[in-house]
Amino acid sequence: MDLNLKDRVAVVTGAGSGIGEGIARALAAEGCKLSILDRDASAAQKTASSLTGTMAQSTAVDVGDSAAVERVFAETIATFGRLDILVNAAGVLSTGLVADLPVTEWQRIAQVNLAGVIYCVKAAIPVMKRQRHGRIINIASVSAMRGGGSVGNTLYGTTKAGVVALTMGLARELGPFGITANAIAPAVVDTAMTHAALTEDAKRRILERIPLGRLARLSDIADLAAFLASDRAGFVTGATIPVDGGILTT
């Protein structure tokens, strides 16, 4: 299926590694121009320089810093001339019980996983409205539907539940401007984020609960993101789509 994404301009946060990187690669393969954002400057640079055959630049930014986000988006829009696709993939995991964790841990993860998404969306809305076209894709998690997940926890799931609610509200607010907002809810993908938590025992227990019998591949998430970024998905908005091998059914 030709997704007709050639020369569309995409910002992908957290694209220095894992799911964000996978999505950046999929969009580049479809011909998008890429702005790679990550708080890890060298990881962002590594992703951008490996995306051959299209325009790609990297910028180091902490998505939880609203002033820095505004500045970086203004620079990106000035460089590329437009902004068609925003993928919010930057995120941090936290494990532990609510009773045991200090409130600073909630503040740390909420600042990235929820406030960071809001800051990036706010920075993208004006240009998308002017274009009367835009695609916002947020990476949530099945933990949003379960109050925590196999390797996540209650606080992490709570930040992701906020992303689900934000996505629905954005769809309502921005639909009249030709902008869609959707979220993808992965279960467990073997990335740097989950690596430490994925002991052989944890992996076995998770696999027992996944009807399709395997963890997610980056391409499982990236292919859906590319579709949601395209005009083929023009009538899909406000949705949170699980890519979880069926784990939510068990």
Ligand X SMILES: NC(=O)c1ccc[n+]([C@@H]2O[C@H](COP(=O)([O-])OP(=O)(O)OC[C@H]3O[C@@H](n4cnc5c(N)ncnc54)[C@H](O)[C@@H]3O)[C@@H](O)[C@H]2O)c1
Tokens of 211: 């009807």
Active-site residue, selected from the candidate residues 73, 80, 119, 156? 156
Site residues (CB under 6 A) for ligand X?
13-14, 16-20, 38-40, 43, 62-64, 89-92, 112, 116, 139, 141, 186, 188-189, 191-194
Here the tokens at position 186 are 């992965």
Whole-number minimum distance, CB 22 to ligand X, in Å?
8
- Residue 161 φ/ψ, nearest 5 degrees: -65, -35
Q: Is 119 among the catalytic positions? A: no
Minimum distance from residue 105 beta carbon to ligand X (Å): 14
Which residues are CB-neighbours of 202 under 8 A, at least 6 positions away? 150, 151
Q: Which residues pair with 90 in a beta bridge?
A: none
- Cβ proximity to ligand X: between 41 and 132 the closer is 41
Task: Give the nearest distance from C-beta 116 to ligand X in angstroms.
Answer: 6
Write down the H helix ranges in the chain.
Answer: 18-29, 41-50, 66-80, 103-110, 116-131, 143-146, 154-174, 192-195, 200-208, 218-229
Cβ proximity to ligand X, 90 vs 170, nearer residue: 90
Cα dihedral sign, 185-191-196-200:
positive
Pick 13 or 133: Cβ nearer ligand X = 13
Q: Nearer Cβ to ligand X, position 64 or 134?
A: 64
Active site residues: 156
